[in-house]
Structure 1
């Protein structure tokens, strides 16, 4: 048996929901913006890494997160008295590392879902999600589901403080377009977290809670204008924008081009912006390609919300 699973990119935080909101996205032109992991039976456990960004990963399989996913999944199988097989894993690394698009989450989600499908789903979705969170915590140094949850489940996900629930679907504005602009530089997730202050003022806490609550309320009422007016980051963007050359200028530019909102995707350096029409999105994408990219590895994609999440592909 052989199974391949694709896991899509995601916007962690979505500006207004630091560590508690995440949105899966997919390019409108059909490009696979994410990672693919293939599993098939083998005489020994192996891992092959291919793809555009494969050279950015460690050469030793023992240092690759997909290999660690295999070890974690095997341990979960043994705990359920399921016979463990030896497998050949292949990671097609289509996602740049340190991009703010949930690169590590894509690898983790694709690997664990592919392994679960290979074994004909011995683990529940709830169990898989907890394993994904555990892997992300090992990578970033803190437990947060804002990338793995939307990457796995699709759509817009709100993380809730209940270990049995973890995440809830939030209604989407499915007609909107999201322009994802990756400048081609790397921002280390741990470094991006360390630049944040250890304490916030009362005013900042009130603003964060009010903005997030109003965004969720507007999403349920499908009040697009109110929802995107709340896409404000009082927690991370004021501090992280110094790590992103040209971000402030780009944010001002896309606002003039009709964006409903714009911000830093995850820890950056990818910038996201939102539009009501495809024409507006394509105009902004052209500007960003000309002005925000800083290396030949940078890219800009016009996307829609990905409502499926991780899925089997041919």
Structure 2
């Protein structure tokens, strides 16, 4: 029997919560924006097949792919539990562009580990799986952070907490909002985008970051959309990363003039996200970004809402 798992795209940081906030998103047109991993038993040794529209951006040798490493890490964890296992074949359908700022590596990692957990009869809890996902993500980005893997796995708007037993808590999101996601078509590696950030910040910046994040979280719990949007500001990363994204500053001004409630960089970029609570306005913003932000034929613009489901089985 073949098991298939889909893992959705996500907005890392959500502007206001650098490394602390992430939100899963899904296109309103029903398309799957994320990766799909299928798993089945096989003989001889573990195998990985790769396909999909962005497969050409992956390493040629399957054993160099993070999904193959997921198999090895998972089976090692099974061995440490004293549980026997058989060999498996995973097929990665790479539907997410690499280096897009949409949690591409997180999608592959989450889909693979959830599929493995399903295949081996759920030997690990959600918290244990999430810890594995963070471990795998750190191998890609060079630092441990959960702002993509947590929402990709659990769905919704997730706040990372300083507790290894919990890791992430879901925060109320705004179901009435549309998130216009514009991937320009260029690649920005998470590692490179982190290297442009300063090693230290001044006290005023630290205070502004804390105040914006606290006020945003408060607004989410009270469902105060105007307050939330007025504090959806990135004082830590965006001032340094916006220069890496051609057209970002011009398009940010343009969508503001169209009535957007807020906008920002998704993860480390180059994808930008724009927030509105009006479907017609979202369509206007989508058209504007298609005409002004895309840098190559690989780019796209989706109108999304919060994905409340996270990783899930698909037919």
* TM tier, smaller: over 0.9
Equivalent residue, structure 1, for 2:25: 25
- Per-residue deviation, 1:107: 0.2
- Per-residue deviation, 1:256: 1.1
Equivalent residue, structure 1, for 2:156: 155
What number of residue pairs does the alignment pair up? 314
What per-residue deviation string (whole Å, max 9, x for no partner) do you get for residues 214-262 of structure 1?
A: 0000100110000111110000000000100000000011111111110
Equivalent residue, structure 1, for 2:16: 16
What per-residue deviation string (whole Å, max 9, x for no partner) do you get for residues 37-65 of structure 1?
A: 00001113111000000000001112100
What per-residue deviation string (whole Å, max 9, x for no partner) do you get for residues 12-52 of structure 1?
A: 00000000000000000011100000000111311100000
**Cα distance in 2 between the residues matched to 1:12 and 1:212:** 14
- Per-residue deviation, 1:138: 1.1
Equivalent residue, structure 1, for 2:67: 66
Equivalent residue, structure 1, for 2:102: 101
Equivalent residue, structure 2, for 1:198: 199
- Per-residue deviation, 1:2: 1.2
**Cα distance in 2 between the residues matched to 1:237 and 1:139:** 21
Equivalent residue, structure 2, for 1:89: 90
What per-residue deviation string (whole Å, max 9, x for no partner) do you get for residues 59-109 of structure 1?
A: 111210000000000011111111111111100000000000000000000
Equivalent residue, structure 1, for 2:35: 35
- DSSP-derived class of the 1:302 partner: strand
Q: Which runs of 5+ in 2 are unaligned?
A: none
**Cα distance in 2 between the residues matched to 1:164 and 1:120:** 22
1:213 aligns with 2:214: yes
- Per-residue deviation, 1:162: 0.7
Q: TM-score, normalised by structure 2?
A: 0.99
**Cα distance in 1 between the residues matched to 2:119 and 2:259:** 45
Q: Which runs of 5+ in 1 are unaligned?
A: none
> Superposition RMSD on alpha carbons, in Å?
0.6
Could you list the structure 1 runs, at least 4 aligned residues long, displaced by more than 2 angstroms after superposition: none
Alignment of 1:231-246 (within 5 A): 231-246=232-247
- DSSP-derived class of the 1:284 partner: helix
**Cα distance in 1 between the residues matched to 2:121 and 2:230:** 44
**Cα distance in 2 between the residues matched to 1:301 and 1:61:** 30
Higher alpha-carbon deviation: 101-110 or 38-47: 38-47
Equivalent residue, structure 1, for 2:174: 173
Q: TM-score, normalised by structure 1?
A: 0.99
What per-residue deviation string (whole Å, max 9, x for no partner) do you get for residues 137-173 of structure 1?
A: 1111100000000000000000011111101110010
**Cα distance in 2 between the residues matched to 1:120 and 1:282:** 43
